[in-house]
Amino acid sequence: MLLGASVVTAATLPRIRFLNAAPGTATARVEVVSTTTGMRTGAGGESAFGEFTPYAGVPAGSVRVELVAPKLHAAVPAELAAGSSYTVIATGSGGHARLRVFRDGEPAAGTAKLRVIHAAPELGTPDVSLGGRPIAQAVAFGSSSPYITVTPGNQTLAVVSPHGNRTLASGQVSLAAGTATTAVVIGTAGEPVRVVSGQDATVTPGGPPETGLGGLASGGGRPWILILAAMGTGGALAGGLQAAARRRRTR
Partner 1 sequence: MRRWRGTALAIACGALIAGAAAYFALPPEPLQPAIAIPRAELEPPAALAHVAEEPATLHPIVMHGDRAELGTGSAGVDEQFRPARPAWLSIPAASVDAPIDPVSGTATGIDVPAVGRAGWYDAGPRPGEPGRAVIIGHFDASNGPGLFALLPAVANGTDISIRDAAGATHRFEIVGKAEMEKSNFPTGAVYGAADRPVLILITCGGPYTPGVGYRDNVLIYARAA
Q: Which of residues 193-232 bind partner 1 (CB under 8 A)?
A: 199, 202-223, 226-228, 230-232
Write down the least CB distance from residue 229 to partner 1, Å.
Answer: 8
Whether the Cβ atoms of residue 118 and residue 139 lie closer than 8 Å to each other: yes
Residue closest to 32 by CA, chosen among 118, 97, 101: 101
Interface pick for partner 1 out of 181, 182, 183, 196 (rule CB under 8 A): 181
- Say how far apart CA 117 and CA 103 lie, in whole Å: 12
Cβ neighbors of 173 (< 8 A, separation 6 or more) are: 114, 130, 154, 155, 156, 157, 181, 183, 195, 197
- Say how far apart CA 45 and CA 38 lie, in whole Å: 20
Q: According to the binding rule CB under 8 A, does residue 146 interact with partner 1?
A: no
Interface pick for partner 1 out of 80, 175, 186, 196 (rule CB under 8 A): 175
* Residues 152-171 close enough to bind partner 1 by CB under 8 A: 152-156, 158, 160-161, 163-167, 170
Interface pick for partner 1 out of 138, 140, 189, 237 (rule CB under 8 A): 237
Write down the least CB distance from residue 187 to partner 1, Å.
Answer: 18
- Would you state the torsion angle of the CA atoms of residues 88, 92, 98, 99, taken in this order, to the nearest 10 degrees? 0
In degrees, rounded to 5, the angle at the alpha carbon of residue 94 between the alpha carbons of residues 93 and 99 is 35
- Say how far apart CA 67 and CA 29 lie, in whole Å: 6
Size of the site for partner 1 (CB under 8 A): 78
Write down the least CB distance from residue 249 to partner 1, Å.
Answer: 10
Interface pick for partner 1 out of 133, 190, 248, 251 (rule CB under 8 A): 133
- Say how far apart CA 152 and CA 199 lie, in whole Å: 13
Write down the least CB distance from residue 74 to partner 1, Å.
Answer: 31
Cβ neighbors of 7 (< 8 A, separation 6 or more) are: none
Nearer to partner 1 by Cβ, of 140 and 229: the residue is 229
Q: Which stretch binds partner 1 (CB under 8 A): 38-46, 80-88, 97-105, 238-246?
A: 238-246
* Residues 86-115 close enough to bind partner 1 by CB under 8 A: 109-112
